[in-house]
Amino acid sequence: MPARFQPRLTIRARLAIITLAGLVVLGGLGLFTVRGAYRALEVAYGQSMAETAQAMLGQIGGSVVARLDQLERLSDRAEVTARMRAANRRPLDAGPDTVLSELLRDAFIDAERRRFGRSVFAQVVLIDRRGLVVAATDPPARPLLADRTWWRGAMARGRHVGGLAYDPLLDAHGLVVAVRLDDARGQPLGVAKALLSAGWIIREAAQAAQLAGNTDIHLVTADTRQIFSTRPFRFLEHVDDRRYVRASRAATGNGAGGDDFVQVTEGGRARVYAFASSRSAPALGHLGWTLFVGRDARQVLAPAEALELRISVAYAVVLLAGLFAAGLLARSLARPVLRIRDAASKIAEGDLEQRVDLKRDDEIGDLAAAFNLMSDRLRDSYHALTAEIAVRQKAEADMAAQAHRALESEIELNTLIESTDDFIWFVDREGRLVLWNSAVSDYRAQRGKGPVRRGITAADMLPADKAAEWEELYRRTLSGERPIIELELSDGRHQTFAFAPMMREGEVIGASVFSRDITVRRAMERQLEQLASTDPLTGASNRRRFMKQAQVEWERSQRYDSPLSLLMIDIDHFKSINDTHGHAIGDKVLKAMVMECIARLRGTDLLGRLGGEEFAVLLPQTPAAAAAQTAERLRQALAELSVATDNGPLRFTVSLGLACRVGAEDTVEECLRRADAALYKAKAGGRDRLVVDPSASGVALESDRGLAS
C-alpha cells in the first residue's frame, strides 16, 4: 500500500484504546470484587465497634496531649526562660521579641514542615504573666490577651484545651490549646498558646479511621456540628437530623449508656452505628465530642480479611496498569511536546538554528514538521534581511566613491546623480554649492525652502541646528577624511550623509555629499531588535534583554551609589488556570497581567518575562520602601483584575518577592536569587502576598491582604 494511504494511529485513537483497556480491566476487577464480596456476615460486633471508636478518640486526645507536652517543654530551654523573665520586666508598650518569635517558628512550624511536609501548629504565641504578647509566629490582633479564657485557664490550672475557633488573621479553623510555663522554682513565667490546625484534627481522625477498616466514620461536636466524615460533608454542618444521631440520643436517654451502639435503616439497608464520647479521652473530656462508626449489618468479621486481600490485589493491579499507561502516555506525548517547547524558547532567545527531529506519523509529528518549517523560514528571513542591510550599506559607500570619480566628466556625472532618488550635491573649498541633482531641488521645493542655486552655503542644505556640526564635518572632509553621519529630520525620516573630498591633481578642491533616506532600513532594524528582545506573547522584555539592561542599571547604581530594586512576580496557581480553562485563557491572563503592570510602572522601570508565569521588574533609582509600595500596589491592582472566560470573569492573584542592591560586592544574579527566595517564601506563606528580602532594611518582610488591611 502506498505510504500516503497507510492509516496512522492518532493521539486521540491511542487515548481511546488506553481508556477502553482501562475500562475493561476495571470492569473485570469490579465483577471479581462483587462476586467475592457477596456473602452474608453476622451482626454481633457492636461492642467491638464501640471500643474501636473509643480507641480512635483516645488517639486524637493523645495527640493533643503530645502537643501540650511539646509546648510545656519550652520552659526547659534556658534561652526561653531567660527571655520570659526579661519580658515580665519590660515596659507595657514594648514590642514582640523577634529572636524568640524566630525560635518559636523554627521549633514548631518549620521543624514540622521539614519533617512531615506541613505543620500541625497554625500559630504559637508566648504571653507573659501580665497577659502581654512576648513573641509569636504570627502576631495576634492585639498585644494584651489577659482577658482570654484560655489564658486564665492555663494560668489557673496549668493546661487548657478549648474548642474549635476561627482566627480571622490566619483565615483558619483550629483547636486552641494553652499551657502555663514555670521556671525551675515553680514560679509562673507566662503562657504558651497554640492554634492547632483543624486540618490536623481531620488527618488524625482519618489516620484513626484506618484502624476500623471499611466503615463510615463521623466526628460530631456537642452541638451536633460535623467536623469529620468519611462521606462528603461541609465543615461545621449541623447533623442533628441524621438517623444515627437521633438514635444515639434516644439510646443514651433510655439509659443505654454513653458508649454503645444502635441499628438504623439508611437507604433501605440496615447499618450498625457505634458511638463513643470524648469525655474519657485524654484532654478532650470537656469538649463533648462524639465519634460514630458505622458498618453494614449484614457483614461479619470472618471473611473480612479475605475480602480486604482481594480488594487490595485488585486495586494493586489497577494501580500498576494505571502507572504503566501513564508512563506510555508521558513518553508518547509529554517528551516530544517538551522538546518543541524548549526549542521555541531558544528561538525566542535568539538561537534561530533550532530544529526538532521527531520521526512520528501523528499530530505531534505534524506539529514538529510545522515548527521546523516556521524555524527555517524565520531563519531565512532573518539572514535575507541582514544580507539586504549589508548590501545597502555597501551600496551607500560605493555610491559616494562613484560620485567622486565621475566629477571629471560633467555629462557622465549628471547622468549618474540624476539616476537616483538619493540626494547628491557638491561644494567648493569655501563651502558654496556648485552642483546638485533634481532630488535636492524637489525636496526643498516640497518644503517651501526656495529654489536651489549656485553659491548658497552648504549649511543651508542641513537643518539649522546642525550648522556647527556641518562646519566640523566639512573641515574634516577637506583634510582628507570621509565622515558619515545620520540625522533624524523634523518629519521623522532618517537620513545618512556621506562626505568625500573631491580631488584634482592631488589637491582637495571641494567636497561631495551623498544623502540617502534610510527610514525603512531603520524600521527593519528596530523590528529585528524588537523580535530579539521581546517576549512574543506578552510584549514584555525577554530574559536576555532584561538581564542585559539589568546589568547596565546595576553598574550605574554602583557607580553613583544610587538605590536599585528587583521585584519577582509569579502568578498563583497558573497551572490550575491552564488545566481548568485552557492555555488560551492562560495566555490572556499573562497578557492582562503584563498590560496592567506596564500601565502602573514608570517609564524608567523594565518588566521582563523570565519564563512561564514568572516575571521580573527592574526598579532603578528606587529604595526598598518605595519599591515595596510599588509592589503592593501592583499586587492589589492585579487582584482586582479579571479576564473574561466562557464561564464568567476569572480573577487571579500573584506572589511577589523583593530584593535590593546591598553593598559594592553585590551582583545582579545574587540580587535575583534573593528576590526569588523571597518569592518562594511568599508562595509557601499562602500566596497573594509580597515578601521582602531581609537585607532590605526598613521594610516589613511580608505583606498580604490581611496585613495590608
Domain ranges, ordered by start, for the chain:
3-39+305-347, 46-54+202-302, 60-197, 398-522, 535-708
Q: What would the CATH number be for the domain defined by 46-54+202-302?
A: 3.30.450.20
Catalytic residues: 613
Could you say which DSSP state residue 540 is in?
S
Q: How far apart are CA 690 and CA 668, in angstroms?
A: 20
Q: Is the pLDDT of residue 434 over 60?
A: yes
Tell me if the domain spanning 60-197 has CATH number 3.40.50.720: no
Q: Is the pLDDT of residue 1 over 90?
A: no
Q: What would the mean pLDDT of 608-621 be, rounded to a whole number?
A: 94
Question: What is the domain class of 398-522 according to CATH?
Answer: alpha beta
Q: Is the pLDDT of residue 15 over 80?
A: no
Q: What is the pLDDT of residues 121-138, one digit of tens each?
A: 888 999 999 989 989 888
**What does the pLDDT read at residue 502?**
82
Among 248-262, 414-428, 585-599, the range with the most confident prediction by mean pLDDT is 585-599
Q: How far apart are CA 299 and CA 485, in angstroms?
A: 97
Helices (H), 456-518: 467-478
Q: Is the pLDDT of residue 301 over 50?
A: no
Confidence of residue 342 (pLDDT cuts 50, 70, 90): confident
Residues 75 and 182 sit within 8 Å (Cβ to Cβ): yes
**What does the pLDDT read at residue 630?**
96
Q: Is the pLDDT of residue 417 over 70?
A: no
**What does the pLDDT read at residue 206?**
63
Q: Assign domain 535-708 to its CATH superfamily.
A: Reverse transcriptase/Diguanylate cyclase domain (3.30.70.270)
Give the DSSP per-residue string, 266-326.
ETTEEEEEEEEEGGGSTTTTTT--EEEEEEETT--STTHHHHHHHHHHHHHHHHHHHHHHH
Place of cell 457492636: 46
Q: Is the pLDDT of residue 19 over 50?
A: yes
Q: Is the pLDDT of residue 454 over 80?
A: no
Please report, for the chain, how many H helices and E strands are present, in that order: 21, 24
Nearest to 423 by CA among 448, 401, 441: 441
Helix (H, G, I), strand (E, B) or coil at 478: helix
Nearest to 434 by CA among 424, 448, 443, 422: 424
Whether the domain at 398-522 and the domain at 535-708 fall into the same CATH topology: no
Residue with the bigger pLDDT between 122 and 307: it is 122
Q: If you average pLDDT over every residue of the chain, what do you get?
A: 79
Give the DSSP per-residue string, 655-698.
EEEEEE--STT--HHHHHHHHHHHHHHHHHTTSSEEEE-TTSTT
Q: What would the mean pLDDT of 559-573 be, rounded to a whole number?
A: 95
Q: What is the pLDDT of residues 149-202, one digit of tens each?
A: 888 988 999 899 987 777 776 677 788 999 999 988 889 989 999 888 866 766
Q: What is the pTM of this model?
A: 0.38
Q: Is the pLDDT of residue 5 over 50?
A: no
Q: Is the pLDDT of residue 358 over 90?
A: no
Helix (H, G, I), strand (E, B) or coil at 449: coil
Q: Is the pLDDT of residue 4 over 60?
A: no
Confidence of residue 635 (pLDDT cuts 50, 70, 90): very high
**What does the pLDDT read at residue 483?**
85
